[in-house]
């Protein structure tokens, strides 16, 4: 892709890992991305508090470059409480209370692999090992869940999934809940493993179908079968 000087300058302003920047350049330079950026600027100019902070919006992609991705855990949108969101799906910053969905994830991890339930909700260690913790929507207004849906982020993260689907093989896509499963319909299941279960939120999980899904052991078994180093799911206390 041959870029003009103006396009290159525009791309250089995006704080994004180079492998993702190169692969997503068409979208990053598109009118859709311009509209999304304009929306975010307008929200901030209206003194609305946006999560996560600007420096962490692309945290998942920056922590897990394309070549490192082994697993994708697809979430919906960021947490909307103070200081929770830091750009990784289901993860909260160290020292904060564990949200209910993440608590259920930890309990399933304990049942599946015998790993002790963590008191730390920061999943950065997973991301550093190749678990792309991707939300479908990357920003949210404080206290207003789903407030940034249908503003362009879904198109952006569809492109992220397409890049992985087409350029890589043997990735595990973990899709919890109908929303993630619908977004995951574009994945080639002959090249990748797709694991589906109900969402880990208490309302859904307690109805059955999340606990006992064994996503973590199935993921590691698949990776090992394909000669890929499995994930160490144990988090620091």
Active site (catalytic) residues: 77
Strands (E) located in 39-109: 50-51, 71-75
Between CA 28 and CA 5 the distance in angstroms is 15
Cβ burial, residue 232 (10 Å; 0-12/13-18/19+): exposed
Contacts of 103 (CB under 8 A, 6+ apart): 117
CA angle, residues 142, 146, 151, in degrees to nearest 5: 105
The pair of structure tokens assigned to 45 is 């100019």
Nearest to 74 by CA among 229, 234, 194: 194
Q: d(Cα 62, Cα 16) in Å, to the nearest integer?
A: 6
Nearest by Cα to 127 from 230, 203, 231: 231
């Amino acid at each position: 892709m041959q870029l003009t000087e103006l396009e290159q300058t525009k791309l250089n302003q995006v704080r994004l890992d180079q492998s993702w920047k190169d692969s997503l350049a068409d979208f990053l330079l598109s009118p859709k991305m311009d509209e999304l950026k304009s929306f975010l600027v307008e929200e901030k100019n209206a003194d609305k508090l946006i999560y996560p902070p600007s420096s962490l919006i692309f945290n998942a992609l920056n922590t897990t470059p394309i070549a490192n991705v082994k697993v994708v855990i697809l979430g919906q949108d960021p947490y909307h409480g103070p200081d929770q969101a830091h750009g990784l799906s289901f993860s909260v910053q160290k020292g904060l209370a564990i949200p209910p969905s993440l608590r259920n994830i930890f309990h399933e991890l304990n049942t599946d692999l015998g790993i002790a339930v963590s008191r730390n909700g920061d999943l950065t260690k997973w991301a550093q090992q190749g678990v792309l913790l991707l939300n479908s929507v990357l920003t949210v207004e404080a206290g207003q869940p789903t407030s940034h849906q249908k503003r362009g982020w879904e198109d952006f993260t569809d492109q992220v999934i397409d890049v992985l689907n087409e350029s890589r093989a043997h990735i595990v896509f973990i899709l919890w809940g109908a929303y993630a499963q619908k977004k995951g319909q574009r994945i080639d299941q002959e090249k990748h493993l797709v694991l589906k279960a109900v969402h880990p939120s208490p309302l859904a999980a307690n109805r059955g179908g999340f606990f006992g899904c064994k996503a973590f052991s199935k993921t590691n078994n698949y990776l090992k079968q394909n000669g890929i180093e499995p994930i160490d799911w144990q988090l620091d206390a």
